[in-house]
Amino acid sequence: MSAVMGQMVQVRQLERVSGGDICDSFKAQTNIGPLFVKRCSAQDGGLLQAEFRNLQLLRAAAEICVPEAISVSFHENDTLLVMEYLDLAGNTHDGQLGRRLAALHRHTGPGYGLEYDNYIGRTFQRNTAEETWSAFWWNNRLLPQLQMVCDQGFSNAIEKYILPLNEVCQRLLHNHQPVPSLLHGDLWSGNKGYLEDATPVIFDPACYFGDRETDVALTELFSGFDAEFYREYQQAWPLDEGYPHRKLLYNLYHLLNHLNLFGEFYLASCLQQIQYLQPLK
């Protein structure tokens, strides 16, 4: 880290802080000020390497405050990600976040996907380029999650829906070719915060270029965003016709991922979402 910073960095105090269930998180008091450090096992090191690149990607867009990723280092038993420490003690200002998210989505890529794969939580997330949005969403998002669900022992409940869901995906997305927006990828309320002056901050991204509606859809799935967020986003860039149907398909991805990560508790939610989608086939 000292080599990256261009000066000697000395840790004077290390305080464990909350920061998710995959990594240990610390506030490091150093001679150059506080830093935020995430530590995971060497086996999970790819998660932090991908997070480092994701944070750089969002920060380069310069539309929403994102902690600066300083270094990622690999050791025999663990991996460390060091980033800027931000004091997220401010009051919520979701309207400003809505405006800034719309501005972030104006940053576009050459196509759907990303030049590297990453993770959604602990789950590997493939970002292989596809010419059509429907192909990307099916091949890189829904199908891998459905296959993992079946491998986890839920095939009796889920496998019969794979072909019908493919039909739904083609039906809803066949003529939907959105601009490939830069996405946060995992924008739920636990991945946002506010500085003391109410500046919104986002973190823990799972970036790729795709339909901006996927970011907005996830904010609705687990709630935690107020009406001002949606009002300001819509004023900045109205969502396309058909969004209420497509968001069901987009949020199924996250529900399936929760089923894969956390188990049977999420099976009923997945089956309910699939039932909502069946009439759209």
User: Active-site residue numbers?
Assistant: 186
Burial (0-12, 13-18, 19+ Cβ within 10 Å), 61: middle
Q: What residues contact residue 257 under an 8 Å CB cut-off, 6+ apart?
A: 120, 121, 123, 145
Beta bridge partners of 14: 28
Q: Rounded to 5 degrees, what angle do the CA atoms 237, 129, 40 make?
A: 90
Burial, 8: exposed, middle or buried (Cβ in 10 Å; 0-12, 13-18, 19+)?
A: exposed
Question: In sequence order, what are the residues at sequence separation of 6 or more whose Cβ sits closer than 8 angstroms to the Cβ of residue 253?
Answer: 137, 141, 142, 145, 214
Residue bearing tokens 């460390």: 80
Which amino acid, 75?
H
Q: What burial letters (b/e) apply to 174-190, b meaning 16+ CB within 10 Å?
A: eebebebbbbbbbbbee
Chain-centre distance of CA 53, in angstroms?
13
